[in-house]
Structure 1
Amino acid sequence: MKMLNAAAVARSLPYDRLIDALENAFRGEVEVPDRTQHQIQSPGHPPGTLLLMPAWQVGGVLGIKIVTVFPGNLANNQPSVGATYLLLNATNGQVLGMLDGAELTARRTAAASALASKYLSRTDASTLLVVGTGKLAPHLIRAHATVRALKSVLIWGRKPESARQLAASFGNEPYTVTTVQDLQAAVQSADIVSCATLATEPLIAGRWLRDGQHLDLVGSFTPEMREADVEAVLVSDVYVDTRAGALVEAGEIVQALASGNFKKTDVVGDLFDLTRGTCEPRRSPKAITLFKSVGSAIEDLAAAELATQPGNRS
């Protein structure tokens, strides 16, 4: 059995190979039951949550991500969220590997955005704006740069110092990395806008968007959260990672549906459709495309299988 800590997971999942692995996974046949959630009582502290996210390929591999959320840990300067991934043989149940779930999740999330961009952003896209400076931000930059020949990366954050620190962490790249403070101006100058925040009120306004842009929304994962307003959804050709998740969990989509001006059938396609060629990707050079992801156990399974392949750099 392979044991991969965060550093080993990072070495084992270069973005070019991971993006290809996700593409093949969405083209294939994977069983993905609904995730289950359990509340765990923690005496003297707020209740914790246990999330179980399984997926498997018949005759292939079986995996489950185990996520714990214990808010009370913050009082003891401990992480409130933990994640571990267990990979097994789907034929005999033998354990193949145990992986750091946080690194796996960050990398597969960024790779899913890059996979969507491969189909949806203009091939001549050269300027990326990243909105947010959290753990996902550097992954999104490197993943997007894998599928598009970026010349310039702009970073905006609520805390300018955090944006400067993130920019300074990049060196010897084929693109420049700089910070910006005027979000509207930055959005209007970018070819790709990638958002990874915990915003509950929109940061991106639809009236700011221009022809030919691609908007990548990663951060929101509940109906109450959203990084872009309803107008941004309405002026865009909308794609999602999976309809089953995005239509009920993504605040941008849920609130657009609630407005009455957007219907479920207005979603052009998901990653299954894009990778299988059953929906139209970018419809024209002037189209504004929007990709909304909330994550899928398919992505975890594909990443874990790639990371544990014999001969991988773990």
Structure 2
Amino acid sequence: MLVEALRVMFREGCEAPLRHHHEIAAGGAPSGTMLLMPAWIPGRYLGVKLANVFPGNGARALPAVQALYILCSGETGEVLATLDGNELTARRTVAASALAAACLARRDSETLLLVGAGRLAKLMAQAHAAVRPLRHIMVWGRDAAKAAALAGELRDAFAQVSVADDIASAMARADIVSCMTLSREPLVHGAWLQPGTHLDLVGGFRPDMRETDDEAVRRASVFIDTPGAIHEAGDIAAPLATGALALDDIRADLAALVRAAHPGRTDEKEITLFKSVGAAQEDLAAAILCYERALARREAA
């Protein structure tokens, strides 16, 4: 349902100003980022998300993202609901990746490699499985214990689940590679990409974060969620700066894909790359879906 809600939102559009970024010192830990993300549909709904992203939280056994979403009436401005921003962010993030995969991944994609074993990874597997016939899930994580634990959780839902010890060899078998880390150095190298692979990059949201290298964008047809990715994501901004990627090389964003302004994948051997940084319209679509379903359940009761 959320994939479809995002499809409708990107097709019909809404008002979504550029989000605010504020760097926050965190003592001896890596600095954090405060994000403010407003969006509204005139006369219907307006909402804003406050998200604090602190990469050092892993050492404290805390999620890297702490967030709150406030949904309001677009007619009166009154608060209609507050939502767990972490859950909303996680679910709309994976739904956006699934929406992109529905346009870009091969229809017969059966094997997914998860790069990263955080809380997003299980949802990512479920989301991709909603749009492609996944059977085999491979999990790679810098923390082997976390990767093994996630693999154990996924075995209830998928026929084959394994822990990948080496990213390069796992990529040789993957149809879809989904990266969900806060890495500042490339983990996935373009030389490892096989013909027909779809590469899904969701972790990095700042120019100093990278999950893949310049060679990946040289070899791939590049797509983004919104134009914000051009400036905010190191996986796009860095190769633009080095000349490995030109603005004209970026094929389309999600809005163009769902409006059929671009056909998406055009060849079974084409390597496709989708980079998302998240967008306020995705949060708004998810919040509206949650709120309206809650109202429907209340009325049904």
**Is the TM-score greater than 0.5?**
yes
TM-superposed deviation, 1:36? 2.5
Q: How does 1:30-41 map to 2 (within 5 A)?
A: 30-37=14-21
TM-superposed deviation, 1:77? 7.7
Per mean C-alpha deviation after superposition, the further-off stretch among 64-73 and 158-167 is 64-73
Q: Partners of 1:78 and 1:287 in 2: how far apart?
A: 39
Pair 1:72–1:133, CA change in 2 (3 A): closer
Query: 5+ residue gaps in structure 2?
Result: none
Residue aligning to 1:250: 233
Residue aligning to 1:54: 38
> Percent of aligned pairs with the same residue?
49
Q: Partners of 2:149 and 2:157 in 1: how far apart?
A: 16
Residue aligning to 1:14: none
The one-letter amino acid of 1:132's match is G
TM-superposed deviation, 1:266? 0.7
SS of corresponding position for 1:308: helix
Does residue 1:290 correspond to 2:284, yes or no? no
Which among 216, 220, 228 is matched to residue 232 of structure 1?
Answer: 216
The one-letter amino acid of 2:273's match is L
The one-letter amino acid of 2:69's match is Y
TM-superposed deviation, 1:311? 2.0
Cα pair 1:268 1:280 within 8 Å, conserved: no
Tell me the TM-score normalized by structure 1. Answer: 0.87
Does residue 1:203 correspond to 2:187, yes or no? yes
Query: Deviations along 1:239-292, whole A, 9 cap, x unmatched?
Result: 00001x110011111111112132111100000000101112001111000000
Root-mean-square deviation over aligned CA pairs: 2.6
SS of corresponding position for 2:239: helix
Which among 272, 296, 299 is matched to residue 311 of structure 1?
Answer: 296
Residue aligning to 1:223: 207
SS of corresponding position for 1:144: helix
TM-superposed deviation, 1:194? 0.4
Residue aligning to 2:173: 189
SS of corresponding position for 2:277: coil
SS of corresponding position for 2:187: coil
- Runs of 4+ in structure 1 over 4 Å off: 37-43, 45-50, 69-81
Q: Partners of 2:61 and 2:147 in 1: how far apart?
A: 24
Residue aligning to 1:163: 147
TM-superposed deviation, 1:75? 9.8
TM-superposed deviation, 1:172? 3.1
Tell me the TM-score normalized by structure 2. Answer: 0.91
Pair 1:115–1:69, CA change in 2 (3 A): closer
